[in-house]
Amino acid sequence: MIEDESIYITRPLLPNLNDVYDKLKDVWESKWLTNSGPQEDYLKEELKQYLQVENLSLFNNGTSALLLGLRALKLTGEVITTPFTFPATVQALDWNNLTPIFCDIDPATLTLDAAKIEPLITEKTTAILGVHTFGNPCDVEQIQLIANKYNLKVIYDGAHTFGTKLNNIPIGNYGDMTMFSFHATKLFNTVEGGALTFRDNSLVGRLSLLKNFGIANPEEVVLSGLNAKLNEIQAVIGLEVLKLVETERKKRHKIKRAYESCLKDVPGINVLTKLEDECSSYQYFVIQIDEELYGKSRDWLHEKLKEYNVFTRKYFFPLCSDFEWYQHLESACKENLPIANKTVTQVLALPYYGELQLESVEKICKVIRDSI
Ligand SMILES: *Cc1c(COP(=O)(O)O)cnc(C)c1O
């Protein structure tokens, strides 16, 4: 066993403390800490430009953004979604009393398999909720065709696709709505935070109400909302972190290349995050381990790397369709989700962040290669 410094799965992108301090002085002087302050407004405008979208609303985290976005669309009944995602995606449905109908995933992109959506549509279906898994965009064109045919809304969990473009179109412009997460572990962060981008201008007012208790003015509360506002301190952090994102993407691009060249000849190891350059969010670096070809399982490799103080993550694990409270759903049965059930035993997210040293990448890859 090599006694060495630990290598973690990610490190947050942190701005220069002095730059944050200068901006915080403005906040202190204004004594305006939250509720549609000027910093929130600056950040909103910067993000609209960066993500190249018409409409954007900020939230205290990605989960409440998605939860209230679904609410704003007034969905009912059933929503077709993927079991291979972070719990937040399906829990946002739960909190809206919407039933997830699990659809299997495409083995190459690990996003919703568009060819399997249509048979799941019933008279209760009101929307399709796709996840751009590990930065791989969903089959947005096929999904939109199905949605148009059955008059369904399309919502994307874009937590892994900050800055991603598809066919030269910024990803937040697809579907009716896209959620972004600005959690500390995401490429762009506001410590905690999130946003919705959306097509329908008329949702601007409704989303503002929903994230502030439905308070329309000092005299009137017009709907049942929540407290889901992004505060001024979060906005300040975001404004400074945003300046670092392009450099971080370039660093991550180099690291991705280094991983890929070290791993390209290893039988049974497949790199899942494929997009490059301006198309990619460089959010994660995820591999898939085919036990038959590689000779060892994902779980074995996860433990082996730990011996070298390399901390990887079985991401996503467990499958959302295995949650105890969905066991009554037919769509959650293992037989209906063969690809998702296989994938969940094979994926491993490797350490990935701009400051990761190339020697560390080599060390990690050596453990993977020498384990055959
Ligand atoms: C991070 C993440 C979320 C949750 O976002 P928060 O900002 O932490 O609430 C939702 N979905 C996916 C796919 C994520 O990776």
Domains and CATH numbers, the chain: 17-242 (3.40.640.10), 245-370 (3.90.1150.10)
Given the CA of residue 194, which atom of ligand 1 is nearest to it? 7
Bridge-based pairing of strands 56-59 and 285-289 is unpaired
Model's pTM, two decimal places? 0.97
Q: Cβ neighbours of residue 336 under 8 Å, at least 6 residues apart?
A: 102, 104, 330
- What atom of ligand 1 comes closest to residue 131's alpha carbon? 13
Q: What's the burial of 319, exposed, middle or buried (CB within 10 Å: 0-12/13-18/19+)?
A: buried
Residue closest via CA to ligand 1's atom 6 equals 62
Which pLDDT score is estimated for 4? 63
The rounded Å distance from CA 316 to ligand 1 centre is 11
- Say which residue the tokens 């990803």 belong to: 171
Q: What pLDDT shows up at residue 170?
A: 96
Across the range 40-54, mean pLDDT stands at 98
User: Quick one: average pLDDT of 300-323?
Assistant: 97
Residues, the chain, total? 372
For the purposes of burial, counting CB atoms within 10 Å of the CB of 283, is it exposed (0-12), middle (13-18) or buried (19 or more)?
Answer: buried
Distance 158 CA to ligand 1 centre (A): 9
CA distance 19 to 142: 45
pLDDT tens-place string over residues 51-71: 999 999 999 999 999 999 999
**pLDDT surpasses 80 at 1:** no
pLDDT band at 328; cut points 50, 70, 90: very high
Residue 3 pLDDT exceeds 90: no
Report pLDDT digits (tens) over 161-207: 999 999 999 999 999 999 999 999 999 999 999 999 999 999 999 99
